[in-house]
Chain A
Amino acid sequence: MVMKEIAEQVSSAIRANREVLTALDQAIGDGDHGVNMCRGFDAIDEIKDEFSRMPFGDACTLAGKTLVMNVGGASGPLFGSCLMGFGKVSADCPQTREELVTMLRAGVESVKSRGKSDVGAKTMLDVLVPLLNGVESGEINSLSDARLVSEKALEETKPLLATKGRAAFLAKRSIGHIDPGAKSTALIVDVVCGYMESKA
């Protein structure tokens, strides 16, 4: 059930932010991030009923595969690998800090190996890794802490020099812009936090 409702809310947030993501990607990429993410999450939205019939981990894996097959750009395999990483280690929705760390770490590692990248390259990892570190170190103790860390990390992608993806072609001209993949990640984090607050 969790994944069905999250899928619905994330899809609608991605749709609502399509132009924002497109504008960010036009600044430092090829301008297709908004459209690609929408295509992927529309496909997830379409099959959301299936999520309620399967365990959390399987739903993550299916959602990840759906992104891989439908996005059409590098963000498909990247966001998809993250979800598939979650599905690999978390059969059920994490209930403890330790379980959440395990899930986030599996996602981060999948994105790193798929993208052959790491923090500091102006990518989605620049939001994901601070979140993982914050949860693990205890700096993040609440959903509002998670939001703060994610928003701050997103802003901090601005001065970074892109060394991965299409933005790398712009080299120094990528400095001064928020990374679109990091923006999508922060958007998803915000929606998931909001969902959990509504259930608390």
Chain B
Amino acid sequence: MSDNVALVIVSHSELVARGAAEMARQMVGEEVVIVPCGGGVDGGLGTQVDAIKSALESAYTDKGVLVIVDLGGAETNSEMAIEMLSQEQQANVIICDAPIVEGAVMAATEASSGATLDTVRRTAEEYQS
């Protein structure tokens, strides 16, 4: 569908993940694959390793996948999920250290220009409000 870096947005809240994805999509339309992933095992707040793994697989492209996370467990669980991917895929998936909404919007905008994974990450991380 697209030859751009894809984004996976991991939040403890499904609504936050979906909302951040919606804001990012408003910037770039369908040019960038953006997959939100949020909520715990019982539908409450939390993040789930297997759900994150599925999100990574559905977003995966050799161009790279940038994972944007909110707090603590979202990052730890995302790291676990990445380690469950094949070695080949793992090399193309990275977690970025950026605020979730601003990071998603900045990353999506950069990704839509066809930038590399590393550039997309830097753009998201360098964002200062």
Q: Fill in one digit per residue for A31-45: 1 if any B CB lies within 8 Å of its CB, else 0.
A: 010001001000000
- Is B72's CB under 8 angstroms from A77's CB? no
In the assembled complex, the Cα of A69 lies from the Cα of B40 at a distance in Å of 11
Listed by A's residue number, 29 A-B pairs whose Cβ atoms lie within 8 Å are A30-B45, A32-B45, A32-B46, A36-B46, A68-B80, A69-B48, A71-B41, A72-B41, A72-B42, A72-B46, A72-B47, A73-B40, A73-B46, A73-B73, A74-B72, A74-B73, A74-B75, A75-B73, A76-B49, A77-B49, A77-B76, A77-B77, A77-B79, A77-B80, A78-B76, A114-B79, A114-B80, A166-B71, A166-B72
* B50 lies within 8 A of chain A by Cβ: yes
Interface residues of A in 126-155 (CB under 8 A from B): none
Among residues of B, the one whose C-beta sits closest to the C-beta of A165 is B72
A69 touches B46 (CB 8 A): no
Q: In the assembly, what is the distance between CA of A39 and CA of B46, in Å?
A: 12
Give the complex CA separation of A83 and B73 in angstroms: 18
A73 and B77 alpha carbons, distance in the complex (Å): 8
Give complex CA distance A26, B98 in Å: 26
The A interface, classified by DSSP as helix, strand, loop or mixed, is helix
Q: Interface of A with B (CB < 8 Å)?
A: 30, 32, 36, 39, 68-78, 80, 114-115, 165-166
In the complex, which residues 39-78 of chain B have their Cβ closer than 8 Å to any Cβ of chain A?
40-42, 45-50, 71-73, 75-77
Interface residues of B (CB under 8 A from A): 40-42, 45-50, 71-73, 75-77, 79-80
Given A69-B50, A166-B72: A76 touches B42 (CB 8 Å cut-off): no
Residues of A within 8 A of B41 (CB): 39, 70-72
Q: Pick the contact of A74 from B40, B50, B77 — CB < 8 Å?
A: B77
Please state if A76 and B45 are interface contacts (CB–CB under 8 Å).
no
B72 touches A76 (CB 8 A): no
List chain A residues, Cβ under 8 A from B50: 69
Q: Measured between alpha carbons, how far is A72 from B76 in the docked complex, in Å?
A: 10
Give the distance to chain B from A49, nearest Cβ to Cβ, in Å: 22
